């Protein structure tokens, strides 16, 4: 008998008018000791399924029908008091955002101990002992001392460890982890996932891993359940679902993720958007966006059928089974074709020893300087006309500040930013304005980057108005043509941003950025706020526009696969420093800097074989403070190869290939001597 | 924490200097200047010139200001010629009584408003919530003097339960030994401040209840009672400390009005009388003292906030 | 969210050529067009209490300004027919000077409403400018400007008003100026806060990148986005000004007779509390409460509908 058996679960959420049918007949079973991955895009009902198990639905939500059996006992039917004895005791849960999921007014020790005291009926002191024990278990350094800390005194990674300790304190049989690493940086994500995996084995518990990230699933789950629009569409063992996908949605989802090996030049994108669940369609819910859909799909709902490999799917035209339904083929371009002949290109923007420091002040009257935050330190970089440069790094590495300096939003503390050979900051404000029209910014948050009080037409026309380009009619025309270029109808002109989805807003932002015919666009996390299927649409569009407009991109992202997809050359930043730069191949296949290598191995990839066999180089510890960065090489505090030399001397940038440079005393590959003249060969 | 305290005290000092400047400006706004105000309307130009010279009022304006603040710093608030008393001695008898009135109303209103606000938040959009919201809305929209009059009509004139006038007498003893007569003024002031506290408490509690860590607490299996009183209450109460500080000016305003409705022998009542008799030195003295008390009260509230909130305490 | 996502999202996937314009397919008629303002107005009108508030304000304005045209009373000369109980000829009786209470309620309401509206407008304009400048410039200027506000806030406004009213002989204009002078502080604080948050928004950054100047940012982006908060506050200001005026009059520091307002009517009526002349106390008090309640209801409703807008994001 499975440990947890969800049987035909329906969960609804009441709205002012009508109801959202968030979960529409889901059946999942989890065996003891098993990890089941629940994947899907936002709004597919995966979180609501998790919350239904715990009966922790929002006030307007309720379980309409179905059973949730834990060890044979139906949790839907028991009283609230009985349910309380299950929560935290038989089932533990961890949530997405560790920054907001802990009570700021109570010490972490007391927050863990209260669950122990409640379920194990022990005294406070005894519960505290147990709290220290589990904190030790989750790898909290010096738990004895940390027990009386408040949440805000800990970093995000440590807080998530506290959350895990809390969920595991009573050794539950099942752990529900709802996007446990989405809010964390890649290296911390790897630490937490590794921890969850090993704890699961130690305690012999089962885990329901809810996530949108196929990579996380590939490496950690035994079985995968894919949800779409409140329904389970496919379910199989992890190997099976990646190797022989049957449902077109799963297939499309996998095809829309950029690959880390850079083998895909163009992503698949699912047309349309998910259906409105307050009024779900009668047939297959994916039919409207499916490339294989027939009338049968629109009229009838396909049942979930299971084949002999214990692989179930709900589709009339499964991929790879009916002979006439070929798989999606993606255009693959060889690395060599894409390679840019840099010798022919002229530099568009040059950053010369650029640093940016922010003063930290104290005191109300005197504003004494208490320290400086070294956001970017001595960064030199040349951007060639027509190329795409990617900048990767974890939060706080200074990549966004670098981007702001490139578009003249921030003035460097020292160093120069040259555009077409002219210093950006050596101009009068009026002249700077003229130059600025060449430099545009694409924002991360599609909700914050468009003024909600302006119509889309006004928003796109604003740059033309400001720079007094063309007559009124010409501007109107330009707006329409820009809209069509980004794939939106001219009817959008009259509408307001709130009427558009995230992906559409990102297109509107792109249209606005293109209005002035810029040379360089700095895209700061252009797709990280978007769902996977929407993401690929925007990424493809960015590539198309680069070709038609001859754009140069600087793509800033924490997501290494996105950067790999877009960029010709990639720079890796750590704590304000550029530590390595090179082509996609150099960085991803042949990294020289230990940080680059560790960062890459931390990224979960949607390939089970690779994920399960991968030798992980997990970076220990947390990012040091940028107010007081370590001496010498800034990465040395977390580096396996570090010696005394690394603390004493800052490593200089050295070459490892024509376009490949890194700053490390003990690089992973050998340096090459480049003789001038011969390099081009 | 120390950085926060230094910053906050620094701000208060600046605001205190600001208060002294305002008082100084007000004094010079008086028709005929400070001299005429103090000597009275019938003073001759010669008398005024002599007074100005004797008090340094013929010196440059900034020098006058320093003399003025010097006096304030020595605790010298001037002299009421109408009452023939120093302002200090007038305040010494009146102020403690007003503090008792306003203080007890403040405490009482918090005792009522906090549980009611929490109850409303937990049962929000229910029938009791709507009822309580309506009551506070009505109280909030009511002139405080009218509320006092209605209470007098109901409890003093019609029911004869409580006297319509506050206890009369110069000493504090006379005030606190007559709780029956204190009842109506305290209740009036309590209801006025209850209205704004309970609205705030309700939204503060609703905000706290919507936080992610409440969900975490539920996921641990804690009971509603523990979640409310251990987890939510503390977080919801912290902003109340600041609110109490910020509402001091309006509380004092309501106090002045209440004192005048019930003839309560306190500073507010004295202030109104001084206004009607054009006793400017007394008016200014009271304004300065109340200004200083508000600033200090605000500072104390913010320090309480810092002590209660670990995010400020351990920074 | 999905309801309003009616434009087709997709580009074709395979082969990946941009299909160009993708027409909007029908769906989502309810939100198909219309500005945010429409949405806000719509939510506002769905709020029944808001309708009550607006109705009350309209009734109050009609009662005070149109009422006297139909209900003629002598509000200039006193008569011997004093403190007459409600009855024939005087629906709400007469007061201690023999004026008809109903008629006096109309005349008195005029000055109460005039003061309320004027103060709200003046205080809002001053406060918005002050707060926007402080918030947008920031730094030392902001610190100094806000300490000035802190200072003025630390002296209870009523005390300042009483002092000023004692120094200067009150007239209607003077009272409006003086009450405005102490009422601009809260809009100033609010707008400053809004400006501080709005000026770091991405869309403001976008204007900078396009080469737009501060003037455009303030006038085209910050003010339109802060307008909701400003309007809400202005509504509450009307209510507050009416209360303050009533209180000043009650304390005997309002407009000298024969000018009347609801507060001064109460002030006179209080002397007759023990005589059971309820018509001197209830009508004016209820008039004040209803008017203040009405403006508070409207303010609350506007604030709620603005929040709904945020939720729809």
Task: State pLDDT tens for residues C250-269.
Answer: 887 777 777 778 888 887 77
pLDDT, tens only, A381-406 = 999 988 999 999 888 888 989 999 99
Counting Cα atoms < 13 Å in the Cβ hemisphere of B139 gives 24
CATH topology of domain C3-311: MetI-like fold (1.10.3720)
pLDDT tops 50 at residue A218: yes
Residues 506-525 of A with CB under 8 A from C: 509, 512, 516
User: For B144-171, what is the mean pLDDT?
Assistant: 81
- Whether the Cβ atoms of residue C246 and residue C240 lie closer than 8 Å to each other: no
Residues 147-206 of C with CB under 8 A from A: 201-203, 205-206
Q: Taking Cα atoms as reference points, which of C301, C227, C290 lies closest to residue C262?
A: C290
CA distance A578 to A666: 16
User: For C138-142, what is the mean pLDDT?
Assistant: 82
* Closest Cα in chain B to C156: B249
Amino acid A578: pLDDT: 93
List CB contacts (< 8 A) between B278 and chain C. 166
From A216-230, B121-135, C69-83, the region with the lowest mean pLDDT = C69-83
Helical H segments across chain C, by residue range = 36-46, 48-61, 67-70, 101-137, 139-154, 157-167, 172-183, 185-198, 202-210, 214-216, 223-250, 262-269, 282-311
Instruction: List the structure tokens of A258.
Output: 């950029």
Q: Taking Cα atoms as reference points, which of A237, A258, A241, A259 lies closest to residue A250?
A: A241
Of residues A114 and A99, the one with the higher pLDDT is A114
> Which DSSP category does A272 fall into?
S
CA distance C287 to C57: 11
- Whether the Cβ atoms of residue A223 and residue A36 lie closer than 8 Å to each other: yes
Q: Taking Cα atoms as reference points, which of A382, A383, A403, A384 lies closest to residue A392?
A: A403
pLDDT confidence band for C6 (50 / 70 / 90): very low
Q: Which chains touch B (3 or more CB pairs under 8 A)?
A: A, C
| Residue C89 CB partners (closer than 8 Å, separation 6+) | none
Q: Do B221 and A114 touch (CB under 8 A)?
A: no
pLDDT, tens only, A328-346 = 666 555 444 444 555 567 8
Strands A439-442 and A312-313, by their bridges, are unpaired
From A200-209, A255-264, A579-588, B287-296, the region with the lowest mean pLDDT = A255-264
How close C30 gets to chain B, by Cα (Å)? 27
How close A439 gets to chain C, by Cα (Å)? 7
From A344-353, C72-81, C210-219, the region with the lowest mean pLDDT = C72-81
Amino acid A342: pLDDT: 52
pLDDT tops 70 at residue C310: no
Amino acid A336: pLDDT: 42
pLDDT confidence band for A447 (50 / 70 / 90): confident
Mean pLDDT, chain C, whole residue set = 76
Measured between CB atoms, does B149 come within 8 Å of chain C?
yes
Amino acid C34: pLDDT: 47
From B278-282, C29-33, C217-221, the region with the lowest mean pLDDT = C29-33
Of residues A322 and A589, the one with the higher pLDDT is A589
* Closest Cα in chain B to C254: B276
How big is the A-C interface in CB pairs under 8 Å? Answer: 167
Q: Taking Cα atoms as reference points, which of A548, A272, A520, A492 lies closest to residue C17?
A: A548
Residues 13-52 of C with CB under 8 A from A: 13-16, 18-24, 31-36, 39
Q: Do B216 and A103 touch (CB under 8 A)?
A: yes
From A251-255, B125-129, C247-251, C272-276, the region with the lowest mean pLDDT = C272-276
Q: Which chains touch C (3 or more CB pairs under 8 A)?
A: A, B
From A334-348, A535-549, C11-25, the region with the lowest mean pLDDT = C11-25
How close A166 gets to chain B, by Cα (Å)? 8
Distances (CA, A) of B241 to A71, A196, A326, B303, B306: 49, 41, 67, 9, 10
Q: Which chains touch A (3 or more CB pairs under 8 A)?
A: B, C
List CB contacts (< 8 A) between B290 and chain C. 155-156, 159
Task: Determine the 3-state secondary structure of A383 from DSSP.
Answer: strand
Q: Taking Cα atoms as reference points, which of C269, C246, C237, C76 lies closest to residue C175?
A: C246
Strands A654-655 and A312-313, by their bridges, are unpaired
How close A479 gets to chain C, by Cα (Å)? 13
From A565-569, A622-626, A632-636, the region with the lowest mean pLDDT = A622-626
- B220, B226, B228, B310, best to mutate vs chain A, most A CBs in 10 Å: B220
Q: Do A271 and C12 touch (CB under 8 A)?
A: yes
Residues 55-114 of A with CB under 8 A from C: none
User: For C282-308, what is the mean pLDDT?
Assistant: 82
- C148, C159, C268, best to mutate vs chain B, most B CBs in 10 Å: C159
CA distance A404 to A411: 8
Nearest to A503 among C9, C221, C312 (CB): C9
pLDDT, tens only, C79-103 = 667 667 777 777 777 777 777 778 8
List CB contacts (< 8 A) between C39 and chain A. 498
* Closest Cα in chain B to A362: B3
Measured between CB atoms, does A326 come within 8 Å of chain C?
no
pLDDT, tens only, A358-369 = 887 654 444 556
User: For B46-74, what is the mean pLDDT?
Assistant: 77
List CB contacts (< 8 A) between A17 and chain C. none
CA distance B274 to B78: 14
- Whether the Cβ atoms of residue A141 and residue A161 lie closer than 8 Å to each other: no
Q: Do A95 and B10 touch (CB under 8 A)?
A: no
Q: Do C21 and A463 touch (CB under 8 A)?
A: no
Amino acid A173: pLDDT: 92
List CB contacts (< 8 A) between A329 and chain C. 14
Q: The pTM is what?
A: 0.82
Q: Do A364 and B8 touch (CB under 8 A)?
A: yes
User: For A64-79, what is the mean pLDDT?
Assistant: 91
Q: Which helix (H) or strand (E) holds A351?
A: strand A347-362
pLDDT tops 90 at residue A38: yes
Of residues A529 and A592, the one with the higher pLDDT is A592
* Backbone torsions φ then ψ of C118, nearest 5 degrees: -60, -45
User: For A8-28, what is the mean pLDDT?
Assistant: 88
Residue % of chain A over a pLDDT of 90:
34
Q: Do C22 and A252 touch (CB under 8 A)?
A: no
* Backbone torsions φ then ψ of A27, nearest 5 degrees: -125, 120
From A421-430, B141-150, B246-255, the region with the lowest mean pLDDT = A421-430
Amino acid A370: pLDDT: 66
Amino acid C200: pLDDT: 82
Residues 126-185 of C with CB under 8 A from B: 147-148, 150-160, 162-167
List CB contacts (< 8 A) between C32 and chain A. 499
pLDDT tops 60 at residue C19: no
């Amino acid at each position: 008998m499975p440990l947890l058996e969800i049987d035909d679960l329906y969960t609804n959420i009441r709205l002012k008018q009508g109801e959202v049918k968030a979960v529409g007949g889901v059946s999942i079973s989890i065996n003891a000791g098993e990890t089941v991955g629940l994947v899907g895009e936002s709004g597919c009902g995966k979180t609501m399924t998790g919350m239904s198990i715990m009966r922790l639905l929002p006030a307007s939500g309720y379980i309409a029908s179905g059973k949730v059996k834990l060890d044979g006992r139906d949790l839907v039917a028991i009283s609230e008091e009985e349910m309380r004895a299950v929560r935290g005791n038989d089932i533990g849960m961890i949530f997405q955002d560790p920054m907001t999921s802990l009570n700021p007014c109570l010490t972490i020790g007391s927050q863990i101990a209260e669950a122990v005291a409640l379920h194990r009926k022990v005294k406070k002191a005894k519960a505290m002992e147990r709290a220290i024990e589990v904190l030790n278990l989750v790898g909290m350094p010096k738990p004895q001392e940390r027990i009386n800390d408040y949440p805000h005194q800990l970093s995000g990674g440590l807080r998530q460890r506290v959350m895990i300790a809390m969920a595991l304190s009573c050794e539950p049989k099942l752990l529900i982890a709802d996007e446990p690493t989405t809010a964390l940086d890649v290296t911390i994500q790897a630490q937490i996932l590794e921890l969850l995996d090993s704890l699961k084995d130690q305690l012999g518990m089962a885990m329901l891993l809810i996530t949108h990230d196929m990579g996380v699933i590939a490496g950690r789950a035994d079985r995968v359940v894919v949800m779409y629009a409140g329904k389970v569409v496919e379910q199989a063992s992890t190997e099976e679902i990646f190797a022989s996908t049957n449902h077109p949605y799963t297939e499309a989802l996998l095809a829309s993720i950029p690959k880390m090996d850079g083998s895909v030049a163009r992503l698949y994108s699912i047309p349309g958007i998910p259906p409105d669940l307050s009024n779900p369609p009668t047939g297959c819910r994916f039919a409207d966006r499916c490339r294989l859909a027939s009338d049968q799909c629109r009229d009838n709902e396909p049942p979930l059928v299971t084949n002999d490999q214990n692989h179930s799917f709900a589709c009339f035209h499964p991929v790879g089974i009916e002979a006439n339904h070929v798989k999606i083929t993606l255009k693959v371009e060889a690395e060599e074709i894409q390679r840019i002949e840099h010798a022919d290109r002229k530099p568009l923007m040059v950053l010369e020893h650029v640093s940016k420091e922010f003063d930290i002040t104290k005191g109300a009257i005197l504003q004494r300087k208490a320290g400086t935050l070294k956001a970017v330190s001595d960064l030199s970089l040349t951007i060639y006309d027509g190329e795409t440069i990617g900048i990767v790094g974890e939060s706080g590495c200074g990549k966004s500040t670098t981007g702001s300096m490139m578009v003249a939003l921030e003035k460097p503390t020292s160093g120069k930013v040259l555009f077409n050979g002219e210093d950006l900051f050596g101009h009068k404000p009026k002249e700077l304005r003229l130059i600025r029209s060449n430099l545009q910014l694409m924002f991360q948050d599609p909700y914050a980057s468009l003024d909600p009080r302006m119509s889309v037409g006004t928003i796109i026309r604003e740059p033309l108005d400001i720079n007094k380009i063309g007559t009124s009619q010409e501007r109107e025309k330009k707006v329409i043509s820009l809209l069509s270029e980004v794939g939106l109808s001219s009817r959008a002109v009259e509408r307001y941003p709130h009427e558009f989805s995230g992906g559409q807003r990102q297109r509107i932002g792109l249209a606005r950025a293109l209005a002035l015919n810029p040379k360089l666009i700095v895209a700061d996390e252009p797709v990280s706020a978007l769902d996977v299927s929407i993401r690929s649409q925007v990424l493809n569009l960015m590539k198309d526009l680069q070709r038609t407009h001859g754009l140069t991109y600087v793509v800033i992202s924490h997501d290494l696969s996105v950067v790999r997809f877009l960029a010709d050359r990639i720079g890796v930043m750590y704590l304000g420093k550029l530590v390595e730069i090179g082509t996609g191949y150099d960085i991803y296949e042949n990294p020289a800097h230990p940080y680059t290598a560790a960062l890459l191995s931390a990224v979960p990839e949607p390939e089970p074989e690779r994920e399960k066999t991968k030798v992980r180089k997990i970076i220990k510890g947390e990012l040091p403070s940028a107010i007081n960065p370590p001496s010498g090489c800034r990465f040395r505090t977390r580096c396996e190869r570090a010696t005394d030399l690394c603390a004493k001397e800052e490593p200089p940038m050295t070459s490892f290939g024509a376009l490949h440079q890194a700053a490390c005393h003990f690089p992973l590959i050998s340096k090459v001597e480049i003789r001038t003249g011969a390099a081009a060969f | 924490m120390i950085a926060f305290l230094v910053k906050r005290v620094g701000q208060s000092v600046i605001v205190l200097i600001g208060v002294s400047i305002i008082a100084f400006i007000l004094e010079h706004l008086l028709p005929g200047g400070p001299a005429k105000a103090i000597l009275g309307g019938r003073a001759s130009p010669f008398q005024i010139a002599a007074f100005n010279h004797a008090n340094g009022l013929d010196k440059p304006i900034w020098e006058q200001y320093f003399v003025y603040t010097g006096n304030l710093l020595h605790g010298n608030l001037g002299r009421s010629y109408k009452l023939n008393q120093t302002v200090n001695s007038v305040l010494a008898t009146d102020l403690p009584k007003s503090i008792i009135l306003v203080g007890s109303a403040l405490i009482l209103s918090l005792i009522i408003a906090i549980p009611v606000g929490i109850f409303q938040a937990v049962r929000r959009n229910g029938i009791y919530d709507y009822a309580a919201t309506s009551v506070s809305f009505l109280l909030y929209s009511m002139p405080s003097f009218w509320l006092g009059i209605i209470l007098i009509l109901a409890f003093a004139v019609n029911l004869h339960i409580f006297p319509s006038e506050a206890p009369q007498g110069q000493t504090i003893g006379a005030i606190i030994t007559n709780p029956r007569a204190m009842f109506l003024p305290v209740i009036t002031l309590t209801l006025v401040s209850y209205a704004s506290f309970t609205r705030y408490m309700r939204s503060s509690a609703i905000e706290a209840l919507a936080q992610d860590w409440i969900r975490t607490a539920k996921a641990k299996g804690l009971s509603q009672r523990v979640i409310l009183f251990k987890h939510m209450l503390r977080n919801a109460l912290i902003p109340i400390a600041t609110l109490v500080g910020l509402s001091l000016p309006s509380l004092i305003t309501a106090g002045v009005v209440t004192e005048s409705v019930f003839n309560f022998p306190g500073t507010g009542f004295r202030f109104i009388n001084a206004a009607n008799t054009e006793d400017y030195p007394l008016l200014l003295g009271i304004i300065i003292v109340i200004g200083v008390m508000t600033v200090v009260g605000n500072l104390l509230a913010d320090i309480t906030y810092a002590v209660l909130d670990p995010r400020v305490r351990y920074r | 969210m999905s309801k309003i996502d009616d434009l087709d999202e997709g580009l074709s996937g395979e082969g990946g050529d941009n299909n160009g314009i993708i027409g909007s397919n029908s769906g989502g008629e309810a939100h198909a067009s219309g500005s945010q303002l429409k949405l806000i107005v719509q939510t506002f009108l769905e709020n029944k209490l808001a309708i009550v508030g607006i109705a009350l304000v309209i009734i109050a304005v009609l009662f005070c300004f149109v009422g006297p045209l139909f209900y003629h009373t002598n509000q200039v000369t006193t008569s011997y027919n004093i403190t007459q109980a409600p009855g024939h000829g005087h629906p709400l009786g007469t007061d201690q000077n023999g004026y008809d209470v109903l008629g006096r309620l109309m005349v008195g309401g005029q000055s109460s409403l005039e003061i309320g509206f004027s103060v709200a407008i003046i205080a809002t304009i001053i406060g918005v400018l002050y707060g926007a400048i402080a918030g947008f410039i920031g730094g030392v200027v902001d610190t100094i400007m806000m300490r000035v506000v802190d200072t003025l806030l630390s002296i209870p406004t009523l005390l300042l008003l009483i002092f000023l009213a004692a120094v200067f002989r009150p007239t209607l204009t003077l009272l409006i100026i003086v009450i405005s002078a102490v009422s601009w502080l809260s809009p100033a604080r609010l707008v400053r806060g809004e400006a501080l948050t709005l000026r770091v928004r991405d869309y403001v950054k976008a204007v900078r990148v396009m080469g737009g100047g501060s003037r455009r940012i303030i006038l085209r982006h910050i003010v339109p986005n802060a307008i909701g908060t400003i309007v809400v506050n202005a509504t509450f200001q009307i209510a507050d000004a009416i209360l303050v005026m009533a209180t000043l009059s009650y304390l005997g520091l309002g407009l000298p007779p024969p000018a009347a307002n609801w507060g001064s009517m109460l002030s006179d009526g209080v002397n007759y509390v023990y005589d059971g002349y309820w018509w001197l106390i209830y009508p004016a008090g209820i008039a004040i409460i209803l008017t203040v309640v009405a403006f508070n209801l409207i303010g609350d409703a506007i604030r709620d509908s603005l929040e709904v807008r945020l939720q729809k994001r």
